[in-house]
A and B are shown apart, each in its own frame.
Chain A
Amino acid sequence: MIRNQMRLEFLSCSENVGLARVAVAAFASGVDFNLSDLEEIKVAVSEAVSNAMIHGYEGATTGTVRLSASLSNEDIEIVVEDDGKGIPDVEQAMLPGTGSDPERLGLGFVFMKSFMDEVDVRTEVGKGTRVKLLKSLPGDGNADKFVKN
């Protein structure tokens, strides 16, 4: 059951990467994620949004990035969507160091998978990419606390 939800839509300008991760971290701080969890969520969101800008829109600042987050009694689900060029080979893209730019580590998906419990990528070449990130709430009783607050 969804307890809270947020949506944010912004242009693919790099200054919005910070806005995205801070918004989700503030939203997630409504439950008992500790500081380390929140830092990990921020990195995962930063990577997903950066990927949309760098790869989806290839650096163009006129694309639209849609970000949403939902809190349930069990987890937080974050979705980052773009209408960019899509990923031809998702399995390949998820491997470390497979980016085309020697200045980049190619670790975006590695960080997402390391810091979140689930990462799901749906993509269609020429139409865009949807990345779903899921992280379980820590411990028991968080749902009760959240409801009271």
Chain B
Amino acid sequence: MGYEIRKEGNILIVKVYGEFDLHAADYARRDIDSQIRAQGVKHLLFDLGSLTFIDSSGLGVILGRYRKVSESGGRAAISGTPPNIKKVMEISGLNRLMPFFVDRASAMLELG
């Protein structure tokens, strides 16, 4: 699993690649939290378009970051959910907490 983190305006974009599981969760949690603080952003966007696998450990990282930015008055969103992980997302209930967008541009428009 890999990820790219970059700032665009007031939004921190986290693009996740590959498999997001227990092994990746600790590193990702630490890096994203560190970047939220360092970049001083308000909103968070998870771009999952290149994700190939996610389980509850990966989803927990997304949920935890959603909670963090919400507590600070920001919003979090998800874009580009691949078809093979849609069922996991639905069962997790994350789609009832955070808005899902088909692509990054739509999500940026909403968050921005």
- A interface residues, Cβ below 8 angstroms from B: 14-15, 17-18, 21, 35-36, 39-40, 42-43, 46-47, 50, 53-54, 101-108, 110-111, 114
Interface SS, B side:
helix
Is B29 close to A, CB under 8 A?
yes
Interface size, chain B (Cβ < 8 Å): 22
- B interface residues, Cβ below 8 angstroms from A: 19, 21-23, 26, 29, 53, 55-57, 59-61, 63-64, 67, 84-85, 87-88, 91-92
Task: List 10 additional A-B contacts (Cβ < 8 Å) besides A39-B84, A111-B55.
Answer: A35-B84, A36-B84, A54-B22, A103-B61, A105-B59, A105-B92, A107-B56, A110-B91, A111-B56, A111-B88
- Give the 3 A-B CB pairs with smallest separation, nearest first: A14-B23, A103-B64, A46-B55
Q: Which residue of A lies closest to B21 (CB)?
A: A17
| C-alpha spacing A17/B23, complex, angstroms | 7
| C-alpha spacing A15/B19, complex, angstroms | 11
User: Which of B21, B26, B92 has most chain A Cβ within 10 Å?
Assistant: B21
* Distance from A38 Cβ to chain B, minimum over Cβ atoms (Å): 10
Contact A15 B56 (CB under 8 A): no
Contact B56 A14 (CB under 8 A): no
Q: Which residue of A lies closest to B61 (CB)?
A: A103
Contact B63 A105 (CB under 8 A): yes
26 A–B contacts, CB within 8 A, in A order = A14-B22, A14-B23, A17-B23, A18-B23, A21-B53, A39-B53, A39-B84, A40-B87, A42-B53, A43-B53, A43-B55, A43-B88, A46-B55, A46-B57, A47-B55, A47-B56, A50-B22, A50-B57, A102-B67, A103-B29, A103-B60, A103-B61, A104-B56, A104-B60, A105-B92, A111-B56
